[in-house]
Amino acid sequence: MRIAVCADEADVLKTIKRVLQDICKNEKIVAYIDLFSSTDELLESFMTDEYSFDLVLLYMGTQGMKATECAGVLRRLNNNFKLVFLTSYEIRIYDLFQYNISSVIPIFMPEKYMSGELTRILRDIENYKGKYLTFEVRVSENNFAERKISISDILYMTVVDRKIYVRTLKEVYTLKRRSFTDLKKLMFGYNFIEISRFYIVNMEYVRFIKGNEMRLDNGTVLTISRRQLKNVTDAFSEVFELTLPKKRA
């Protein structure tokens, strides 16, 4: 697990790192914690490492780009990570919902509260990343074999000419003798959504939606059917910005 903590106060960075290390030790979680003193540093690392953080903690006092502005940029780049705001003052939590946050943690609260919230979030990440499904996939022209596939690696599933394909972050698998209807029922329990009769998509990898087009984090553009358009836009309206980024002049 990779964790990024961004704050312009050394004491905040030190405290959060210690709390995270204690949690990971108690929960037996292997984690790499990167500390950033500015949002510019965080964004540079975020893009250089191809958005590989599982958890990002942003302090609401970070210099340079404001924490909320930074969160907006991060979410436009990728929605597949947990986001937590750290605050040193009272804020309206409602204003932060648009960034798909997992929690808002006041740093002036007792450390026990902070530890409890972060433990919950780290457990959620571990549980999600640790879930696998076993499928029979094609390994050669006439041979199939069982393969464990991490749910968190699946971008989407599709059916073409009665053949079912699973598109993961690294490769495409062809499944053997599966009903797409039954597969949809299975995957809906894992944060997938149907965008047409032929596609179900992992909601964690949707970057934005415009009209009937859905763009994923890897740049793939998929078409949402008229029948599913309202269901899809309703599901994402509170999380995603439903407009394309403005083109540079």
Question: pLDDT tens, 29-57?
Answer: 878 899 999 999 999 988 876 667 889 99
Residue-wise pLDDT for 119-162, tens only, equals 999 998 887 776 888 888 988 878 888 888 988 899 999 999 88
Tell whether the model's pLDDT for residue 93 goes beyond 90. Answer: no
Residue pair 201/156 in contact (Cβ under 8 Å)? The answer is: yes
**Which of 59-73, 116-130, 205-219 comes out lowest in average pLDDT?**
59-73
Of 33, 35, 42, give the one whose Cα is nearest residue 9.
Answer: 35
**Alpha-carbon distances of 142 from 137, 161, 180, 203, rounded to whole Å:** 11, 18, 21, 33
Residue 110: per-residue pLDDT: 85
Binning pLDDT at 50, 70 and 90, where does residue 188 land? Answer: confident
**Alpha-carbon distances of 59 from 35, 41, 42, 84, 104, rounded to whole Å:** 12, 14, 12, 9, 10
Residue 185: per-residue pLDDT: 84
DSSP 7: -
Residue 248: per-residue pLDDT: 38
Structural domains in the chain plus CATH codes? 2-129 (3.40.50.2300), 132-236 (2.40.50.1020)
Residue 51: per-residue pLDDT: 64
Distance, CA of 201 to CA of 11 (rounded, Å): 41
Between 193 and 190, name the one with better pLDDT.
Answer: 193
Tell whether the model's pLDDT for residue 80 goes beyond 80. Answer: no
- Complete DSSP assignment for 173-222: EEBSS--HHHHHHHHGGGTEEEEETTEEEEGGGEEEEETTEEEETTS-EE
Termini Cα distance of the chain? 39
**Alpha-carbon distances of 92 from 3, 96, 97, 102, 167, rounded to whole Å:** 25, 8, 10, 15, 39
Binning pLDDT at 50, 70 and 90, where does residue 95 land? Answer: low
Residue 168: strand pairing partners: 154
151: CB partners within 8 A, 6+ apart: 128, 131, 132, 133, 190, 202
